[in-house]
Amino acid sequence: MAQLHITPADDLIDVARRISVSGLRPGETIAIATRTLRGPELAWASEATFAANAAGTVDLERDAPLSGSYTGVSPMGLLWSQRPVDSDSREQFHADATRALVTEITVRADGAQARGELVQRLAAAGVTRREVREDGLVGTLYLPAGPGPHPAVMVLNGSGGGINEPRAALYASRGYAALALAYFKAPGLSDYISNTPLEYFECGLRWIREHVRPARNFIALSGQSRGGELVLLLGATFPELVSAVIGYVPGAVVHSAQNAADPAIGREGPAWLHHGKPLPHVWENNRTASWAPFDEGPAPHRHERAILTALQDPEAVARARIRVEAIRGPVMLLSGTDDGSWPSSLYARMVADKLAEAGHAHDVRHLDFEQAGHAILFPYVPTTQMVYAHPVSGRISTTGGTAAANAEADEQSWIAVRDFLARAVARHAGQA
C-alpha cells in the first residue's frame, strides 16, 4: 500500500520539504496531486506522474516527473508549479497573514489513494501582529517572539500598493521587527502613487525608532519594484535613518507615476514629492521616451520596452538618477534578466557600478537571476502567473520570466537576503 511522507509536514513557508512515497511496486506509475486554498474560495492545484524505482519508492528530491505541471528534478516543484483553478487570480495568501497555507497532497496508485497535508506558515509561533494607524501612518507591525530588542525592517510594496503583510510576517519569523508600511491603495490613503511625499516614509522610520526601539537603531529597508526604487531613494535621502537597503527588482532612476497614476494627473506625472516639490523623473523632458512599445500590439505587453526608450536619453537619465552614493549602509540588489516590467537587471548594474565608482564603504551585493522575471518573492510559492491585469491601471501585462527560473530566484534570493541582513546587523553592532 502506498504511503506518503512529508518532512517536515508543518513549518515556515521558507523551509523546503521532502515529499516521498513508499510501498510501491518497482516501476509502478503514480500520480501526485496538490490543492491549496490560497484565498476565499480560491484553490490552486498541480499534478505530476512518477515511476517508482527498484525499491518501490518515489522521492521528489531524486525523481523528475514523467509528465505534469513541471519538468526536471525539483523537491518543491509541486508547490511552485501550482495554478489557480478556474481563475486567473494571482492571490497567493490569505488576507490574514497569520493563517497558514494548507496543501492537501494526494497520491493515486493502482486504484488506491494516500493523503497528507503540508502546512506553510508565514508567522512563527509567538510572532505578534499590530495594526498601525497613528502619526498619519497606515501599516502593520509584526514582532518576533521574545522580548527583544530586535533589528528592524521597513517593508514597502510596489505599484500595486497596499500593505505587504506576508513578507513582514516572514521577516518577523526570522527575528526582525517588521513594519509593512502602505503608502497608497490602503485605508485612509490615496488610491494612487501620484504625488507621494517622501516625508511620509521619514515619519515611518522615526516611528520605528521611537516605538519599536530596534536593536542599536538598526533599520533596514526592503522594497520590491516601485518599492525597490523607493528604498534606494529613501536610503539616499535620509541616510542617517537607514542602516541597510534591500532592493527587489529595483529602479536606478526616479520614475513617473506610470501604471499606478491618478488618471487626473496621468502616468507622466510625478510619483514622489520632497519638501512639496516633485522629484525630477526619467520621463520628464525626455527626448526619446515613448509609450508605444508598451501600448501597441497584442497583449500581454512588456512595460519594460517603453522604459528602455526612456533610457536612450542620457541627459534625462542623469537628471533622474537616484544618488545612491549618499547611502550609508550595505546595499543588496536582486534582479531578473527577463524582467517584463522594467529592466531591473540593467538598473541593478547601474546602481552597483555607481556605488563601486564612488568607493562605497559598505557591502554591495547584486544577484541577477537568469530567465527570471519581475516577481521575485520568497521560496515555495506558485510562480506560474506571469500575465496579469495591473491592480491600478487594469492594463494586461507580463512580469516575464519562466516559472522554473522564477522559482529558483525566489529560493536563492531569500537565502541571500537572510545572509545579507545577518551580516549587516553584525557589522552594525560592531560599529556601534
User: Which contiguous run of DSSP H or E holds residue 33?
Assistant: strand 29-39
Closest to 79 (Cα-Cα) out of 382, 403, 370, 305: 382
Task: Find residue 219's DSSP bridge partners.
Answer: 152
Q: Please tell me which residue in 63, 338, 339, 410 is annotated as part of the active site.
A: 339
Q: What single DSSP character describes residue 216?
A: G
- Give CA–CA dist 179/159, Å, rounded: 18
Q: Is 344 a catalytic residue?
A: no
Residue ranges of E strands in 110-218:
112-121, 128-132, 138-143, 152-156, 177-182, 196-197
- Give CA–CA dist 279/88, Å, rounded: 36
Residue with cell 537565502: 415
Residue with cell 563601486: 356
Q: Is 374 a catalytic residue?
A: yes
- Give CA–CA dist 193/230, Å, rounded: 11
Q: What does residue 217 show for φ and ψ, rounded to 5 degrees?
A: 55, 30
- Give CA–CA dist 263/197, Å, rounded: 18
Q: Give every strand in the sheet of 58-59, ordered side by side.
A: 3-7, 18-22, 58-59
> Any residues with CB less than 8 A from the CB of 298 and at least 6 apart, and which?
none
Q: Please tell me which residue in 69, 81, 225, 256 is annotated as part of the active site.
A: 225
- Give CA–CA dist 71/89, Å, rounded: 23
State the virtual CA torsion across 96, 100, 101, 102 in degrees, nearest 10.
Answer: -140
Closest to 127 (Cα-Cα) out of 98, 106, 103: 98
Q: Please tell me which residue in 303, 360, 374, 428 is annotated as part of the active site.
A: 374
- Give CA–CA dist 314/294, Å, rounded: 21
What do you get for the CA distance between the two ends of the chain, in Å? 61
Q: Is 368 a catalytic residue?
A: no
Instruction: Indicate which residues carry an active-site annotation.
Output: 225, 339, 374
